[in-house]
Amino acid sequence: MTSDRPAFAREGRDWPNREASRFVAAGGLTWHVQEAGTGPCLLLLHGTGAATHSWRGLLPLLARRFRVVAPDLPGHGFSDPLPMPSLPRMARAVAELVRGLGIAPQVAVGHSAGAAILVRLCLDGALAPRLLVGLNAALKPFPGMAGLVFPAMARMLFLNPVVPRVFAWSADRKAVARLIEGTGSALDREGLDLYRRLFQMPGHVAGALGMMANWDLVGLDRELPRLAVPLLLLVGAQDRTIAPEVSFGVAERLGGRPRVELLRGLGHLMHEERPELVAGSIEEAARREGVEA
């Protein structure tokens, strides 16, 4: 299925922040990583189905004050796939990459499932940032039957090799626009086109389905109270993928320790809609924790 994977020479020909891209071998995988800026190290992890293009507006803003490192997660974008990409396996793979790069992030920022990976890394002692930021963080299992049905459905789709191809064939501009609109976000034409470019590659679709099929947040939810890292949760008020109440519930459960900021008028992809607003919140929180550029 190598030909089904996005190729940097083709799908990446005009990739956002392409000048910051390089390929790194770590943990038996070849990773696509973008790195820019100088200063304290800041690690960015995107969510399921996305790639480094998700940071096209945010990365240059943060690079003014930080050394920003942003990989494509395994099976996403231009990084190699990981067999059985469960949360613990994904976290261990990212830990191998961090060690391979020789970095010690002072700030770690994760969107959606990327935030769950960062929390897992912190709980396992693989990361010790001075600030952890979750953007519409996926830190709790789906409630009720949805928590059983959605992963099982994703697993059935993942095991059928035809499904990624069918999805890719149907990923035209209108279909992708409907999908993004369903998250509560409104992206410009370039943002939609970048997602369309990825969703038309069966290998990328398979990577996203594999991640969803093997995802289990029950253990993470159980261990969440022992998270000792300062946590900022940025929440898009219009998020239709992860209800804003999830982040407020996490903060209440952790005794109000996490700081929660509600960003009105923005959806699940708020960092793509208003990167300057999100960058400002991250920089201000970093200063509060003594992380100075």
- Looking only at the bridges linking them, the beta strands covering 67-71 and 29-36 are antiparallel
**If pLDDT is split at 50, 70 and 90, which confidence band does 148 have?**
very low
Instruction: Determine the Cα–Cα distance for residues 229 and 106; give it in Å rounded to an integer.
Output: 11
Structure tokens at 194: 């970048």
**If pLDDT is split at 50, 70 and 90, which confidence band does 9 have?**
very high
Single-letter code of the amino acid located at 288:
R
CA 290-71-266 angle, 5° bins: 70
CB-count exposure of residue 27 (10 Å: 0-12, 13-18, 19+)? middle
- Looking only at the bridges linking them, the beta strands covering 41-45 and 29-36 are unpaired
Q: What is the mean pLDDT of residues 238-245?
A: 95
Residue whose token pair is 């995107």: 46
H or E stretch including 29? strand 29-36
**Alpha carbon separation from 159 to 44, 85, 169 (Å, rounded):** 29, 13, 18
Instruction: Determine the Cα–Cα distance for residues 172 and 166; give it in Å rounded to an integer.
Output: 12
pLDDT at 98: 98
pTM for this predicted structure: 0.92
pLDDT exceeds cutoff 60 at 159: no
Query: Average pLDDT over the chain, rounded to whole?
Result: 90
Superfamily holding 2-143+216-288: Alpha/Beta hydrolase fold, catalytic domain (3.40.50.1820)
Instruction: Determine the Cα–Cα distance for residues 94 and 172; give it in Å rounded to an integer.
Output: 32
What percentage of the chain exceeds 70 in pLDDT?
A: 88
Q: Is 107 helix (H, G, I), strand (E, B) or coil?
A: strand
Residue 93: name the closest of 150, 161, 45 by CA: 45
Domain boundaries, the chain: 2-143+216-288
Q: What is the mean pLDDT of residues 79-94?
A: 95
